[in-house]
């Protein structure tokens, strides 16, 4: 299962066009729901901190740290979900697992919208919220591996990069959807209304979205690759573990830079640079627009010239540009227009890694362990470098007083990721 055998790891048994389109839609809509919710939680982090984690007289910074700790905990349950649901997906099929995880995600997210706050039930409130975040983490862990397996296993020859990029593209759409709903509520509601009850509405909106996703997945066919090769003998566990660690290293920069620039940014702008809530959301929307704009082209380009050059370009650009970008945002003399272009460009650079990333991970594992393998690699990377991003950045800034920590964090993780990506084989046209 080494990279030398990667070209044969996803058989070209994609089937007719109609099931392919259905697979893309069913896989994409679940990712949209998942990342819409995670985006909403990040965008409303300061509100959630006040309602659930900050008792009367408590510090706002301490409340935000606890909010990000809950955020991180959900990510640490992703590898558990990836292992649990991935094993099911590799044994009984991708379709039933994708149905189960979207039902769990929808239920947990909707319940967050009706939870009592600290003012109502005291210390029970953060525990209830954390429990639902754990359920979300478990279901999200099974979502990525199943969705990417379905998309790439239905892909026609030479189009795995393009098909896999739709997973990342719908991540961008989900984050944009969450930011758009948050911005709309911040516009039509007063700060008091938003803090009292308005923050609940984005979570409640997950229910109809999840029901649509569930219906599409009930109509999904099982992938041709799983039907033909899913029961083959599994490779040794040591080989799978080695590939999982390597895969996690290859996507750690994507994970860290993505969450730093696309999710943590609003709280950084508000708490560190003292921007308003609406201004912070606008910056996030621009970053996510840049992110969305490059994902699919990057996936398509990776089908033509190979995954390695596209992924490496994204990682190296983050290393080079992170500190100048943050310094530009900190400069009060820089116009808002220039700052908007800068954050949009930051999102676009992350998109260069997110586009080919799903196909790259899929190609590292044979069909019999693909759901588990790629899901674990992605989940482990996200648990450490995405889920902890807000917590690490906020706590480190608090202890050091440095406002450049987000840039150092993104640049350092992408530097390590670039070393792992340099070992990718040439798989252009596969």
Rounded CA separation 134/132 (Å): 5
The 10 Å Cβ neighbour count of residue 208 is 11
Rounded CA separation 174/352 (Å): 18
Show the DSSP H helices in 189-223 as ranges: 191-193, 200-204, 206-218
Rounded CA separation 312/360 (Å): 12
In 3D, which of 267, 203, 284 has the Cα closest to residue 60? 267
pLDDT tens digit at each of 430 positions of the chain:
555 444 444 444 445 566 778 888 888 888 888 888 877 877 777 788 778 876 654 555 656 666 666 666 777 888 999 999 999 999 999 999 999 999 999 999 999 999 998 888 888 888 888 899 889 889 988 999 999 999 999 988 889 999 999 999 998 898 788 878 888 888 898 888 988 899 999 999 999 999 999 999 998 888 888 888 766 777 888 899 999 999 999 999 999 998 888 877 766 777 777 777 777 778 878 888 999 999 999 999 999 999 999 999 999 999 999 999 888 888 888 888 888 888 899 999 999 999 999 999 999 999 999 999 999 999 999 888 887 777 788 788 888 888 889 999 999 999 999 999 999 987 665 5
SS (H, E, C) 382-406: HHHHCCCHHHHHHHHHHHHCCCCHH
Rounded CA separation 314/152 (Å): 22
* Dihedral angle of Cα 395, 397, 258, 76, to the nearest 10 degrees: -10
Write the DSSP symbol of residue 332: T
Sort 268 into a burial class: Cβ within 10 Å, 0-12 / 13-18 / 19+.
buried
Helix axis angle for 160-188 and 336-354, nearest 10°, is: 150
Contact predicate 142/82, CB 8 Å: yes
Euclidean distance between the first and final Cα of the chain, in Å?
Answer: 17
| Tokens found for residue 198 | 């308005």
Residue 117 falls in which region: left (phi positive, over 0), alpha (psi -120 to 50) or beta: beta
Rounded CA separation 338/331 (Å): 11
The pLDDT of residue 388 is 76
The pLDDT of residue 276 is 74
| Tokens found for residue 178 | 């969450």
Contact predicate 305/429, CB 8 Å: no
What are the C-alpha distances in Å from 29 to residues 165, 180, 214? Answer: 14, 17, 9
The pLDDT of residue 373 is 95
At the topology level of CATH, where does 16-421 sit? Growth Hormone; Chain: A; (1.20.1250)
């Amino acid at each position: 299962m080494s990279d030398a055998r990667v070209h044969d790891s996803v058989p070209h048994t994609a089937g007719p066009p109609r099931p392919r389109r259905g697979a893309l839609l069913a896989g994409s809509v679940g990712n949209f729901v998942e990342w819409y919710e995670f985006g909403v939680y990040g965008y409303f982090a300061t509100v959630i901190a006040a309602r659930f984690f900050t008792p009367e007289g408590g510090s706002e910074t301490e409340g935000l740290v606890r909010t990000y700790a809950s955020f991180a905990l959900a990510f640490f349950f992703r590898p558990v979900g990836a292992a649990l649901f991935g094993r099911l997906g590799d044994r009984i099929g991708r379709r039933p697992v994708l149905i189960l995880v979207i039902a769990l995600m929808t239920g947990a997210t909707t319940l967050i919208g009706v939870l009592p706050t600290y003012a109502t039930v005291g210390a029970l409130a953060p525990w209830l919220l954390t429990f639902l975040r754990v359920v979300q983490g478990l279901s999200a862990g099974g979502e990525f591996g199943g969705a990417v397996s379905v998309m790439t296993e239905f892909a026609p020859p030479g189009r795995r990069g393009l098909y896999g990029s739709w997973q990342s593209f719908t991540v961008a759409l989900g984050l944009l959807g969450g930011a758009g709903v948050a911005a709309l509520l911040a516009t039509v509601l007063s700060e008091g209304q938003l803090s009292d009850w308005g923050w609940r509405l984005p979570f409640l909106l997950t229910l109809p979205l999840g029901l649509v996703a569930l219906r599409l997945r009930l109509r999904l066919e099982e992938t041709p690759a799983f039907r033909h090769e899913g029961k083959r003998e599994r490779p040794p566990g040591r080989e799978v573990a080695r590939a999982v660690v390597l895969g996690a290293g290859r996507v750690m920069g994507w994970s860290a830079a993505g969450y730093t620039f696309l999710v943590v940014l609003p709280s950084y702008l508000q708490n560190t640079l003292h921007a308003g809530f609406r201004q912070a959301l606008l910056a996030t929307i621009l970053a996510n627009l840049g992110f969305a704009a490059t994902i699919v082209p990057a996936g398509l380009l990776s089908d033509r010239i190979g995954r390695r050059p596209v992924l490496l370009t994204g990682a190296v650009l983050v290393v080079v540009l992170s500190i100048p970008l943050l310094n530009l945002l900190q400069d009060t003399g820089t116009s808002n227009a220039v700052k908007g272009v800068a954050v949009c460009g930051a999102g676009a650079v992350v998109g260069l890694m997110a586009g080919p990333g799903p196909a790259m991970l899929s190609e590292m594992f044979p069909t019999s362990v693909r759901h588990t393998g790629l899901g674990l690699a992605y989940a482990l990377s996200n648990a450490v470098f995405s889920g902890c991003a807000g917590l690490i950045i906020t706590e480190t800034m608090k202890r050091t007083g440095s406002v450049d920590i987000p840039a150092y964090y993104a640049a350092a993780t992408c530097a390590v990721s670039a070393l792992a990506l340099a070992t990718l084989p040439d798989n252009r046209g596969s």
